[in-house]
């Protein structure tokens, strides 16, 4: 990476600027929202209560300033840090003031790519208070994804760790900065900021700020997607906070709860189902787990008295196995949420005997709708269904290919609409015309049936996506990267069964006859070197002469999937 570094932050911002509120950016017109009659209904029903994240944190801090809000082990030499609500509140105010002094304000987008450290909350609550929007990236994302998020949202700042899991995010930021004209600041969490500004140098004396309105956007969340580029999901304070309140009630989260954040903190599942933000909303405690392996998580469960956490299915299996051989006391754990991908019945049955806690299956999406099995559901329901919606106002339709309702109990496409499900992706009118019905239902792409008790069972997927143990891969995005290689004539990426991940990705590639041959390993390296998150690099590449086609001559992904299943 040879990109020149331009100074990321004017380091001469005069102190006096801190007192001046930043100039408001134009209001976000790029996000479709709920029609007035729906918004009124959701307010009247008490789902939307006019709260904002900034104000919620202030209320918790005023009520119980000395209660611990966030714990991590990211202090010097891995020292434990415990921030109280009072401290988190003050840190958010001080960081907001420092960011405002650097010209960051309402409507500005900030790409946040942090591992599971306490600063994650300092940053997002500071942005919430400013009315600036975090764009939630995952630690696994690389140049390809981050440059896209930053340029598509015209982000003004990018927040990274110095290093994490052996990867240097400062060099990634150097590349992204060179490619993204809108980006003016890179803030680094950690000891050595390199050419950029340390986040710890930003905070300033708090300044009065006019916070966002509850109906304003709070952040842009990411979709796993099924198209060439990831889509961004606009969530408001009102709608997201409702999903937290509803989740807390269903999962029994209150001020005594201790939530262990195991999956990447910015992902919608650990963020909101009920997740770290649910725990903070309830006045409970969040413990940040730096790695999902049992050797990192089990000591934290024991020492911090963790009561609830959430895992993807492959991890739930690893934890169930590890618990049998472990000497750690996991008895504080009441609830384990498992979701992100289908959790098989046999695996689900193992959870309670192995970990001694109640399993809650969760079938959710960053676009909105979240379903949970209930704590008092019978065992058969808990192990064979993916739960039922949070809200009585979540509308569910199961339809055939022509959008006609299927008979009750039959599998079909899941469409949904409700008080915390978006009405459109951010700045994507063409996608929206396809992904939403004319009357505002989101086409989830999931194939689902509903049991007589109203629980949903996920039977499959119609969208062109691979669900690699909960990590979603849009086939088209990877196909585009494969097609960029001069020796590739055509490429199709499909899911193939994997005993551990559920699915992994397999790329079928037709080589170009007139180009030098390329091997599978070299092609994988090519894709990785294009700056794609490692989990999207095809697990297997098969070279073929032609693709199977459907009756009208389209490539039949169904037949390709069948080929992988037969081991071809």
- The sign one gets for the Cα dihedral 525, 527, 533, 536 is negative
Nearest-angstrom CA–CA distance, 423 and 215: 14
Judged by CB under 6 A, does residue 365 bind ligand DBH? yes
Residue 406 CB neighbours (<10 A): 15
Q: Which stretch binds ligand DBH (CB under 6 A): 24-32, 269-277, 486-494, 550-558?
A: 269-277
How far separated are the first and last CA of the chain, in Å rounded? 38
- Site track 79-118 with ligand AMP (rule: CB under 6 A), x = hit: ----------------------------------------
365 interacts with ligand AMP by CB under 6 A: yes
To 10 degrees, what angle do helices 53-63 and 119-130 make?
A: 120
Instruction: Report d(CA 355, CA 437) in Å as an integer.
Output: 42
Choice from 274, 364, 389, 412 touching ligand DBH (CB under 6 A): 364
473 binds ligand DBH (CB under 6 A): no
Report the residue from 272, 427, 435, 564 that binds ligand DBH according to the rule CB under 6 A.
272
Instruction: Indicate the residue among 174 and 243 with the shorter CB distance to ligand DBH.
Output: 243
User: Considering the rule CB under 6 A, would residue 250 count as an interface residue with ligand AMP?
Assistant: no
Interaction of residue 250 with ligand DBH, rule CB under 6 A: no
Residue 448, interface with ligand AMP (CB under 6 A)?
no
Quote the least distance from Cβ 250 to ligand DBH, whole Å.
12
Closest distance of CB 224 from ligand AMP, Å: 3
386 binds ligand AMP (CB under 6 A): yes
Stretch that binds ligand AMP, among 106-114, 258-266, 326-334, 356-364 (CB under 6 A): 356-364
Count of residues of this chain found to bind ligand AMP when the rule CB under 6 A is applied: 21
CA dist 14 → 106, 490, 493 (Å): 20, 55, 53
Q: Which does 223 bind (CB under 5 to 8 A by kind): ligand AMP, ligand DBH, none?
A: ligand AMP
274 binds ligand DBH (CB under 6 A): no
Three-state secondary structure call for residue 325: coil
Distance CA 524, CA 529 (A): 9
Residues 337, 347: Cα–Cα separation, whole Å: 13
Positive or negative CA dihedral for 245, 247, 249, 251? negative
# residues contacting ligand DBH (CB under 6 A): 11
Q: How far apart are CA 547 and CA 533, in angstroms?
A: 27
Binding range to ligand DBH, per CB under 6 A, among 33-41, 267-275, 317-325, 401-409: 267-275
For ligand DBH, which stretch binds (CB under 6 A), given 176-184, 194-202, 361-369, 483-491? 361-369
Distance CA 465, CA 493 (A): 9
> What is the nearest approach in angstroms of ligand DBH to the Cβ of residue 243?
8
Q: Which of 158, 191, 156, 190 lies closest to 175, judged by CA?
A: 158
CB of 239 to ligand DBH, least distance (A): 13
Distance CA 150, CA 311 (A): 29
Q: What is the DSSP letter of 292?
A: -
The correct pick among 363, 420, 436, 535 for binding ligand AMP (CB under 6 A) is 363
Q: How many CB atoms lie within 10 A of CB 113?
A: 25
Where does residue 346 rank: exposed (0-12), middle (13-18), buried (19+ CB within 10 A)?
Answer: exposed
Rounded CA separation 473/475 (Å): 6
Closer by beta carbon to ligand DBH, 188 or else 448: 448
CA distance 524 to 396: 40
Positions in 213-232 near ligand AMP (CB under 6 A)? 223-224
Residue 465, interface with ligand DBH (CB under 6 A)? Answer: no
The residue assigned the tokens 């065992």 is 379
* Residue 370 binding: pick among ligand DBH, ligand AMP, none (C-beta 5-8 Å cut-off by kind): ligand DBH
Contacted entry of ligand DBH, ligand AMP, none for residue 214, CB cut-off 5 to 8 Å set by kind: none
187 binds, among ligand AMP, ligand DBH, none (CB under 5 to 8 A by kind): none
What dihedral do alpha carbons 166, 171, 176, 181 form, nearest 10°? 150
518 binds, among ligand DBH, ligand AMP, none (CB under 5 to 8 A by kind): none
Residue 261 binds which entry of ligand AMP, ligand DBH, none, CB below 5-8 Å type-dependent: none
User: How many Å apart are CA 455 and CA 449, to the nearest integer?
Assistant: 8
- When asked if residue 97 is in the footprint of ligand DBH (CB under 6 A), the reply is no
Distance in Å, CB of 260 to ligand DBH, minimum: 16
Please enumerate in sequence order all residues whose Cβ is within 8 A of that of 193, keeping only pairs 6 or more positions apart, or say none.
162, 170
The smaller minimum CB distance to ligand AMP, of residues 174 and 391, is found at: 391
Binding of ligand DBH by 266 (CB under 6 A): no
DSSP code of residue 105: -
Binding mask 328-357 for ligand DBH (x = CB under 6 A): -----------xx-----------------
Tell whether residue 446 is a contact of ligand AMP (CB under 6 A).
Answer: yes
User: How far apart are CB 261 and ligand DBH at their closest, in Å?
Assistant: 13
Enumerate the H helices of 134-190 as residue ranges: 143-153, 169-179
Contact with ligand DBH (CB under 6 A) among 172, 370, 466, 507: 370
* Closest to 189 measured CA to CA, from 158, 157, 162: 162
List the structure tokens of 339.
């979701």
342 near ligand AMP (CB under 6 A)? yes
Torsion angle defined by CA atoms of residues 548, 553, 557 and 558, in that order, rounded to the nearest 10 degrees:
-80
Of 364 and 424, which CB lies nearer to ligand DBH in the complex structure?
364
Among candidate residues 222, 225, 236, 218, the one with its CA nearest the CA of residue 109: 218
Transcribe 329-353 into DSSP letters: --TT--EEEEESSPPPHHHHHHHHH
Closest C-alpha among 357, 276, 354 to residue 317: 354
* Options 206, 274, 339, 531; binder of ligand AMP; rule CB under 6 A: 339
State the minimum distance, in angstroms, from the CB of residue 413 to ligand AMP: 11
What residues line the site for ligand DBH (CB under 6 A)? 268-269, 272-273, 339-340, 362, 364-366, 370
**Which positions lie near ligand AMP, rule CB under 6 A?**
223-224, 268, 339-342, 361-367, 386, 444, 446, 458, 461, 467, 472
């Amino acid at each position: 990476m040879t990109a020149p570094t331009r100074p990321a932050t004017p380091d001469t911002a005069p102190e006096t600027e801190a007192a001046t509120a930043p100039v408001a950016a134009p209001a976000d017109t790029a996000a479709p929202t709920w029609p007035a009659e729906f918004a009124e209904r959701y307010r009247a029903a008490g789902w939307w209560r006019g709260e904002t994240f900034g104000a919620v944190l202030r209320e918790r801090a005023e009520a119980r300033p000395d209660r611990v809000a966030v714990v991590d082990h990211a202090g010097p030499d891995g020292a434990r840090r415990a921030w109280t609500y009072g401290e988190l509140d003050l840190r958010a105010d001080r960081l907001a003031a420092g960011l405002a002094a650097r010209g960051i304000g309402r409507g500005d987008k900030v790409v946040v790519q942090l591992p599971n450290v306490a600063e994650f909350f300092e940053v997002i609550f500071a942005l919430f208070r400013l009315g600036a929007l975090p764009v939630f990236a995952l630690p696994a994302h690389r140049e390809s994804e981050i440059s896209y998020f930053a340029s598509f949202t015209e982000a003004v700042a990018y927040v990274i760790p110095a290093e994490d899991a052996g990867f240097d995010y400062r060099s990634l930021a150097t590349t992204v900065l060179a490619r993204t004209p809108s980006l003016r600041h890179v803030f680094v969490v950690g000891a050595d900021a390199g050419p950029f500004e340390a986040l710890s140098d930003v905070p300033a004396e708090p300044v009065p700020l006019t916070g966002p309105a509850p109906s304003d956007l709070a952040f842009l969340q990411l979709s796993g997607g099924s198209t060439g580029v990831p889509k961004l999901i606009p969530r408001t304070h009102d709608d997201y906070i409702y999903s937290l309140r509803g989740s807390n009630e269903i999962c029994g989260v209150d001020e005594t709860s201790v939530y262990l954040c195991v999956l990447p903190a910015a992902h919608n599942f650990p963020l909101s189902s009920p997740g770290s933000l649910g725990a903070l909303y309830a006045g409970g405690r969040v413990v940040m787990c730096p790695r999902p392996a049992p050797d990192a998580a089990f000591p934290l469960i024991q020492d911090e008295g963790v009561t609830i956490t959430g895992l993807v299915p492959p991890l739930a299996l690893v934890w169930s196995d590890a618990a049998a051989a472990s000497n750690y006391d996991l008895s504080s754990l009441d609830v384990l949420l498992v979701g992100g991908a289908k959790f098989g019945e046999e695996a689900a049955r193992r959870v309670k005997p192995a970990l001694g806690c109640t399993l809650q299956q969760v079938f959710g999406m960053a676009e909105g709708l979240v379903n949970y099995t209930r704590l008092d559901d019978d065992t058969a329901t808990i192990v064979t269904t993916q739960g039922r919606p949070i809200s009585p106002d979540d509308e569910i339709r199961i339809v055939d290919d022509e959008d006609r309702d299927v008979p009750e109990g039959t599998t079909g496409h899941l469409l949904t609409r409700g008080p915390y499900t978006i009405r459109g992706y951010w700045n994507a009118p063409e996608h929206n015309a396809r992904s939403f019905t004319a009357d505002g239902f989101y086409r989830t792409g999931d194939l689902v049936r509903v049991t007589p008790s109203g629980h949903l069972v996920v039977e499959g997927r119609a969208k062109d996506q691979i669900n690699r143990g909960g990590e979603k891969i849009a086939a088209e995005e990877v196909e585009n990267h494969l097609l960029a290689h001069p020796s590739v004539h055509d490429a199709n990426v499909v899911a193939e069964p994997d005993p551990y991940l559920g699915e992994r990705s397999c790329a079928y590639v037709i080589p170009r006859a007139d180009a030098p041959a390329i091997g599978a390993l070299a092609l994988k390296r090519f894709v990785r070197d294009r700056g794609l998150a490692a989990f999207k690099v095809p697990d297997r590449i098969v070279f073929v002469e032609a693709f199977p086609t459907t009756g009208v001559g389209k490539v039949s992904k169904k037949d390709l999937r069948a080929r992988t299943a037969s081991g071809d």
